[in-house]
């Protein structure tokens, strides 16, 4: 007899969806960081959100408006239509890329996020039907087939949710996915002063502006770093565009850091 799979009911992400309580997801972060697994908490956090009909703290229910704006008026036009979304979560940033005619690979470490994203795309009628490659995978252990394979790489708010020990590796992997001539669009949170940065509880841990040098170290050239004017908060959201110059090969991503022993 064929076993029937129960269809998971994923929460709708609208104005009435409650956030997953800090008391539920923050202990997962601590537990996994202590165990030397900096990204291990995302999957149980997604599972907890689904079980409780809740949203995760980063869920907006729509594509990031700065990505939509970038696609309307690119800082630099990508040389082709192969796009990668790193840490795609529930996939809301995939839809505008599909609408612009990109062939999208959407990567996330959490299988539940990928299932949720796939189902949302099915419901919307864009990207669930085979036009998007939904991939469960680890950015910190980037598959060789993804290196240098994309004209456009979109990274939105994954890095600030990772602890310092793996951030350079994550940014290097974002850069490594960019093909010669291709571009990376990165939206992240920067701390406006080091003092403020150390006061803020994380995750997310806003990035120090100097951390962005990791993209340059990976062979990318910065074309723009944009943010709204007159920011007076401790952190500010920024949108950066980097390019891998034509004729230069992507640098292989670094080896994943080993957990502490003993």
Ligand X SMILES: C[S@@+](CC[C@H](N)C(=O)[O-])C[C@H]1O[C@@H](n2cnc3c(N)ncnc32)[C@H](O)[C@@H]1O
For ligand X, the closer of residues 42 and 242 by Cβ is 42
Structure tokens that stand for 18 in this block: 């409650």
Residue 39 engages ligand X in binding (rule: CB under 6 A): yes
Residue 135 engages ligand X in binding (rule: CB under 6 A): no
Preceding amide of 204 cis, omega within 30: yes
Residue 171 engages ligand X in binding (rule: CB under 6 A): no
Shortest distance (Å) from residue 59 CB to ligand X: 6
- Residue spans of alpha helices (H) in the chain: 22-34, 42-52, 65-72, 94-99, 111-124, 164-176, 194-199, 213-217
- Main-chain dihedrals φ then ψ at residue 106, nearest 5 degrees: -115, 120
For ligand X, the closer of residues 65 and 209 by Cβ is 65
Residue 185 engages ligand X in binding (rule: CB under 6 A): no
Residue 151 engages ligand X in binding (rule: CB under 6 A): no
Residue 127 engages ligand X in binding (rule: CB under 6 A): no
Between β-strands 221-226 and 235-243, what pairing exists: parallel, antiparallel or unpaired? antiparallel
Q: Draw the binding track, 41-80, toward ligand X (x: CB under 6 A; -: no contact).
A: -x---------------x----------------------
Residue 113 engages ligand X in binding (rule: CB under 6 A): yes
CA distances from 142 to 84, 155, 241 (A): 12, 14, 21
Shortest distance (Å) from residue 108 CB to ligand X: 5
For ligand X, the closer of residues 54 and 139 by Cβ is 139
Residue 138 engages ligand X in binding (rule: CB under 6 A): yes
Shortest distance (Å) from residue 113 CB to ligand X: 5
Do 185 and 154 meet the contact criterion of CB atoms below 8 Å apart?
yes
Q: Residue 41: left (phi > 0), alpha (psi -120 to 50), or beta?
A: alpha
CA 130 to chain centre: 21
Chain residues in the site for ligand X (CB under 6 A): 39, 42, 58, 87-89, 107-110, 113, 138-140, 156-158, 161
């Amino acid at each position: 007899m064929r076993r029937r799979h129960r269809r998971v009911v994923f929460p709708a992400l609208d104005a009435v969806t409650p956030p997953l309580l800090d008391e539920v997801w923050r202990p997962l972060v601590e537990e996994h960081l202590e165990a030397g697994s900096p990204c291990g908490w995302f999957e149980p956090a997604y599972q907890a959100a689904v079980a409780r009909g809740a949203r995760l703290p980063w869920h907006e229910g729509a594509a990031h408006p700065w990505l939509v704006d970038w696609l309307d008026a690119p800082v630099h036009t990508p040389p082709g239509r192969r796009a990668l979304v790193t840490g795609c979560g529930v996939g809301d940033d995939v839809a505008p890329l599909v609408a612009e005619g990109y062939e999208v690979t959407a990567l996330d470490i959490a299988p539940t996020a990928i299932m949720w994203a796939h189902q949302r795309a099915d419901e919307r009628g864009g990207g669930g039907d085979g036009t998007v490659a939904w991939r469960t995978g680890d950015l910190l252990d980037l598959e060789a087939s993804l290196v240098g394979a994309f004209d456009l790489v979109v990274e939105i708010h994954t890095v600030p949710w990772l602890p310092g020990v793996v951030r350079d590796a994550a940014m290097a992997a974002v850069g490594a996915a960019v093909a010669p001539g291709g571009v990376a669009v990165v939206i992240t949170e920067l701390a406006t002063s080091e003092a403020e940065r150390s006061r803020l509880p994380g995750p997310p841990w806003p990035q120090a502006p100097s951390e962005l040098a990791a993209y340059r170290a990976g062979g990318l050239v910065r074309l723009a770093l944009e943010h709204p004017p007159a920011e007076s908060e401790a952190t500010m959201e920024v949108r950066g565009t980097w390019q891998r110059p034509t004729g230069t090969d992507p640098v292989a991503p670094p080896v994943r850091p080993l957990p502490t022993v003993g």
